[in-house]
Structure 1
Amino acid sequence: MAAKMTGPELMDFLETVFPQVKDDFEIEEVTDMRVRVRMKIAERHLRPGGTVSGPSMFALADCAVYMAVLAMIGPEALAVTTNCSMDFMRKPAARTDLIAECRLLKLGRVLAVGDVLIYSEGGEAPVARASMTYSVPPR
């Protein structure tokens, strides 16, 4: 199955349906069943100690799976998260952008399952891992 939306099309769609987060994310790559998303870290994403907060990392993982699903099915605002399991494995580098590498493991009629590895920019080891399930609206 080939991707139906490009990175710029996904960004335009994100700006339209979620304008409150349009400045947080950048779609860096879209391929079949995969996306790479950058979170542009700002002061609002930090927790005490200058590291990126867990809720910000969750938002990145959630956005990455949402973008991967939409890349494959087309613009559908009502795709929603139904489950998430997230492991925070190491402290992200202070004030450094985060990169999410997402791949869809399953894209069915009703559910999509994705796996996300999150890295500090320039880092080799992931700082977090998420497994997410999305409900896909009827097409």
Structure 2
Amino acid sequence: MSPLLAAAELQDHLMTVSNDLERLQRLLDDAGEALSMHFYSAAGLVSGLLQQTGQLPEGCSDALRQVNEDIAGAVTALQFQDMATQLIAHTSQRLRNCQDQLARDAFGDDEDGEAVVEIAPMRPNPVTQDEMDAGSVELF
């Protein structure tokens, strides 16, 4: 296989991976939005019920407080969407840089001018956390 053909094939593979990452990003965005909506709706309902504790049967307020704590803990998992989004954007930028460099080095400039190479991210990793723990939640 000629070097130009190999470079073109590699560039196609890199572009396919980039497109897959974009689809994954859209799926995560949709899932994160749906989770947020449902969690905040449930939390609002539970908070409303907790404010009416004088009208609830005995023992319900404790159960509602536990549900409220469980909802708050589950919202922590929504931080996953934010971290995943950062990692996908970072990886996509690196892939784009590889694609551009490959095209410039293998095919050179064209009649439109000098090949533009997207700048690679400066940091090696935008997210240093690799696990989720319960605690305070700061969303997006």
Decide: shared fold, TM above 0.5. no
Higher helix fraction: Structure 1 or Structure 2? 2
What's the TM-score, normalizing by structure 2?
0.28
What's the TM-score, normalizing by structure 1?
0.28
Q: Which has the higher contact order (CA 8 A, sep 6+)?
A: 2
